[in-house]
Structure 1
Amino acid sequence: MRFDIPLALYVHLPWCVRKCPYCDFNSHTAPGALPEDAYVDALLRDLDHDLPLARGRELTSIFFGGGTPSLFEPGSIRRILEGVRERLPLTADCEITMEANPGTVEAARFAGFREAGINRLSLGVQSLDDAMLRRLGRIHDAGQARAAVATARAAGFDNINLDLMYALPDQDPAGAARDLDALIALAPEHISHYQLTLEPGTPFHHRPPPVPNHDTAWTMHADAERRLTAAGYRRYEVSAWARPDRTCRHNRNYWTYGDYLGIGAGAHGKLTDTAGNVLRRAKRHLPNRYMAAAGGPDAIAEERRPDATDRRFEFLMNALRLDAGFAVADYAARTGLPAAELDDLARRHPDLLRLTDGHMACTERGRLYLDTLLADLLPEAA
């Protein structure tokens, strides 16, 4: 079987200087000196263990997430990428992204990361209002964020994403607009613009800050759409905006049910075998336990094979987030399910879905009610 499903690699580096009160990712406060050499060794052992699932396939993208991956030295990132290249071929235009914190100490490393092979940088700015940054528990200020972008440009990065949140504690629409205008002025190629949510298990969930109500948040969202469009950005996913040809290939692969290896503490992977069966695998969350087990089956915390209902829900939940939707042929190829069932979905929900020329997408109304749509389409999986 020839694989037409793209393959990506996710590398999780789990440490932060300080965990933010809204964060529910698998991240841990750095224990002083990081065990970089031991962790890199563990990552490569982990990749070796997963390699039979993907041998012979090319990587179209690599993403270093966290945590704060930029806490690692450029030499460690180089060693990871060299190890990956020894094991798997990369496409000539492979997108290699690193998440980074705008703190000035890490910004000084940007030239080293570029030399190591990183060609796309994603900076967690979150706000350019110092008061808001303090309330969010961020360790940088607005000046450091601006300096980080300038340093990244000087280091040769011509593909930068900036994260910005809205509906922050006590934020009003005027404040959200000022924040966004300040971010647009930095001229990134990509902007991730998303609403602050109070995730279960986080300090913000246990002690909720005074965030704007739904109507106010919606006003911020609608105003942001106008400002981003006027600035030349195109929305291609619910929270993702990009300049032409600067969409995030790695995230698009997630949203279109592509395959990806996941290495590192708490990393998730999804692979399709030659018979069309899907395997999902997650690694141990705690860094020390992960490092001790990496390279063997004990590093796997969870493994499952999604059934037809799961595959249907997983595909539609992600692909319908894309403004352009998806090709019906991809649905059939990547889920193993009959494309004809999409005809039935479109007939049942003509005001929410459109199906034309072998392509399905949400209508404008469908995008507004995507959660309701999915629950209605797939009641057995909701």
Structure 2
Amino acid sequence: MRPLQIYIHIPFCVRKCAYCDFLSFAADQETQRAYIRMLLREIEAWQDRGDEVISTVFFGGGTPSVLPAEEITLVMEALKKKFSFAGDAEITLECNPGTLTAEGLSRYRRAGINRLSIGLQSAQDKELRLLGRIHTWEEFEESYRLARAAGFANINVDLMSALPGQSPAAWRDTLEKVLALAPEHISAYSLIIEEGTPFYERYREDAQRRERGEVCRILPSEEEEREMYWMTEKLLKERGYERYEISNYAQPGFACRHNCGYWERREYLGFGLGAASLMDHTRFADTASLQQYLDGRWRGETQGRLTRAEEMEETMFLGLRLRRGVSFAHFYRTFGVTMEEIYGEVLQRLERQRLLERTEERIFLTKRGTDISNYVCAEFLF
């Protein structure tokens, strides 16, 4: 049986956050119900090959927990009817504080969901208001308590640093408060101001200043951002969290298997608005038009079969996001040539610059290489 990952996109949220450029939006209950009906049809229509076993499922968004819990249950039932599941399948639901209830969490558990990813972003109410979040720190604490009471023993908390007006001291306070709760996993990202968001219009000039190394008026300076970045690794390491990927930390045994699958280029199948898939060396995605999706025209354009060179590039720049890096043996088994034959000059140059390090089995980023990972990974593009 071939392992297969599944992603379910739920695009709905209470309201759009000021920094968010994801495919998400608020919608009325009638639209939400129509969407779920079409999502169930799309799952049912998939031509199962019969040799696949589901290793992970990830409900992402948007905020999947804005839906009534029974609709999440319907999707899980449709998946279990269509596919075979591994006995230890990791099934994650993204959720936000303020959208969780004791009854809903109990229903999630009965449906088979065994991992929650809670979007906190900050423990400072002032920062939460700035971000446009719908909750306070106190409401997050209550949601977290309800999740533990419902029996969830695998919880991720999403955090975001380098926010407008944020100081290293405020970021430390956020980390300390979250660490006191001992979640199994923490995702810690730096704010990226994306075009088309309210933040882009509000802070564009300051973001450009920071990129040029000039003094910022509102956003933290580059030095402050670096301080927060390394503070995160130091504090989490002291509390027993392994940094297994550039932005992700986990207690032993709790690395997110679904996300690791993306970085290792395992096959995955996406259902829902704009959801992407990688199957049989081909990338394709559902339509990003809600009306087309609700009309039953869910399949978007296929990007086409990946070339051998494209797959080599992805193997390197995705695999190097993981702290364990890329296996020489895996590269040879996949492509029939050694990594040295294809990337020898690049590997040697980056090792001389102390951005890459190797063992007999693997190549991986050094601490310095992790700090400028975008530059390192771009070196592997043909």
Aligned with 2:284 (options 281, 285, 290): 281
Specify whether residues 192 and 13 from structure 1 end up closer, same or farther in structure 2 by C-alpha distance, changes over 3 A only: same
Q: Which residue of 1 aligns with 2:24?
A: 27
Matched, 1:214 2:222: yes
- Does the 8 Å CA contact 1:108/1:151 hold for their aligned counterparts? no
- Does the 8 Å CA contact 2:8/2:271 hold for their aligned counterparts? yes
Segments of structure 1 that go 5 or more residues without pairing to the other structure are 273-277
Q: Return the alpha-carbon distance in structure 1 between the equivalents of residues 92 and 5 of structure 2.
A: 11
Residues 11-50 of structure 1: CA distance to partner in whole angstroms, max 9, x if unpaired?
00001110001011100112x2144443233223323444
- Does the 8 Å CA contact 2:343/2:380 hold for their aligned counterparts? no
Q: Return the alpha-carbon distance in structure 1 between the equivalents of residues 225 and 371 of structure 2.
A: 14
Q: Which residue of 2 aligns with 1:58?
A: 53
Question: TM-score scaled by structure 2?
Answer: 0.90
Q: Which residue of 2 aligns with 1:42?
A: 38
SS in 2 for 1:253: helix
Aligned with 1:259 (options 267, 272, 295): 267
Q: Return the alpha-carbon distance in structure 2 between the equivalents of residues 47 and 286 of structure 1.
A: 18
Specify whether residues 58 and 129 from structure 1 end up closer, same or farther in structure 2 by C-alpha distance, changes over 3 A only: same
The one-letter code sitting in structure 2 at the alignment partner of 1:221 is: Y
Matched, 1:181 2:182: no
The offset of 1:263, in angstroms, is 0.5
SS in 1 for 2:20: coil
Deviates more, 1:336-345 or 1:82-91: 336-345
The offset of 1:10, in angstroms, is 0.1
Residues 114-169 of structure 1: CA distance to partner in whole angstroms, max 9, x if unpaired?
11111000000111111110000000011000000000001110000000111111
Q: Return the alpha-carbon distance in structure 1 between the equivalents of residues 235 and 31 of structure 2.
A: 44
Matched, 1:163 2:158: yes
Q: Which residue of 2 aligns with 1:275?
A: none
Deviates more, 1:159-168 or 1:310-319: 310-319
SS in 1 for 2:193: coil
The one-letter code sitting in structure 1 at the alignment partner of 2:364 is: A
Q: Return the alpha-carbon distance in structure 2 between the equivalents of residues 332 and 50 of structure 1.
A: 33
The offset of 1:106, in angstroms, is 4.8
- Does the 8 Å CA contact 2:92/2:117 hold for their aligned counterparts? yes
Specify whether residues 260 and 280 from structure 1 end up closer, same or farther in structure 2 by C-alpha distance, changes over 3 A only: same
Segments of structure 2 that go 5 or more residues without pairing to the other structure are 207-217
Q: Return the alpha-carbon distance in structure 2 between the equivalents of residues 15 and 337 of structure 1.
A: 44
Q: Which residue of 2 aligns with 1:269?
A: 277
The one-letter code sitting in structure 1 at the alignment partner of 2:7 is: Y
Q: Which residue of 1 aligns with 2:149?
A: 154
Matched, 1:11 2:8: yes
The one-letter code sitting in structure 1 at the alignment partner of 2:147 is: A
Q: Return the alpha-carbon distance in structure 2 between the equivalents of residues 342 and 179 of structure 1.
A: 44
Residues 266-287 of structure 1: CA distance to partner in whole angstroms, max 9, x if unpaired?
1001112xxxxx1101111132
Question: TM-score scaled by structure 1?
Answer: 0.90
Matched, 1:338 2:341: no
Q: Return the alpha-carbon distance in structure 1 between the equivalents of residues 336 and 136 of structure 2.
A: 49
The one-letter code sitting in structure 2 at the alignment partner of 1:27 is: S
SS in 1 for 2:29: coil
Deviates more, 1:246-255 or 1:218-227: 218-227
Q: Return the alpha-carbon distance in structure 2 between the equivalents of residues 105 and 370 of structure 1.
A: 36
Q: Which residue of 1 aligns with 2:138?
A: 143
Residues 275-316 of structure 1: CA distance to partner in whole angstroms, max 9, x if unpaired?
xxx11011111323212125xxx6224432222332222222
- Does the 8 Å CA contact 2:101/2:146 hold for their aligned counterparts? no
Q: Return the alpha-carbon distance in structure 2 between the equivalents of residues 120 and 59 of structure 1.
A: 15
Q: Return the alpha-carbon distance in structure 2 between the equivalents of residues 215 and 45 of structure 1.
A: 51
Deviates more, 1:337-346 or 1:191-200: 337-346
Aligned with 2:247 (options 232, 239, 242): 239
- Which is bigger in relative contact order (C-alpha 8 A, separation at least 6)? 1
Specify whether residues 193 and 218 from structure 1 end up closer, same or farther in structure 2 by C-alpha distance, changes over 3 A only: same
Q: Return the alpha-carbon distance in structure 2 between the equivalents of residues 230 and 240 of structure 1.
A: 15
Q: Which residue of 2 aligns with 1:316?
A: 316
The offset of 1:331, in angstroms, is 3.0
- Does the 8 Å CA contact 2:265/2:315 hold for their aligned counterparts? yes
SS in 1 for 2:253: coil
Q: Which residue of 1 aligns with 2:380?
A: 377
Identity of matched residues, %: 38
Q: Which residue of 1 aligns with 2:210?
A: none
- Does the 8 Å CA contact 1:7/1:59 hold for their aligned counterparts? yes
- Does the 8 Å CA contact 2:65/2:99 hold for their aligned counterparts? no
Q: Return the alpha-carbon distance in structure 2 between the equivalents of residues 66 and 268 of structure 1.
A: 13
The offset of 1:338, in angstroms, is 2.5
Specify whether residues 250 and 375 from structure 1 end up closer, same or farther in structure 2 by C-alpha distance, changes over 3 A only: same
- Does the 8 Å CA contact 1:71/1:106 hold for their aligned counterparts? no
Q: Which residue of 1 aligns with 2:212?
A: none
Matched, 1:190 2:185: yes
Specify whether residues 87 and 187 from structure 1 end up closer, same or farther in structure 2 by C-alpha distance, changes over 3 A only: same
Residues 207-226 of structure 1: CA distance to partner in whole angstroms, max 9, x if unpaired?
21722121110011111211
Specify whether residues 337 and 51 from structure 1 end up closer, same or farther in structure 2 by C-alpha distance, changes over 3 A only: farther
The offset of 1:237, in angstroms, is 0.4
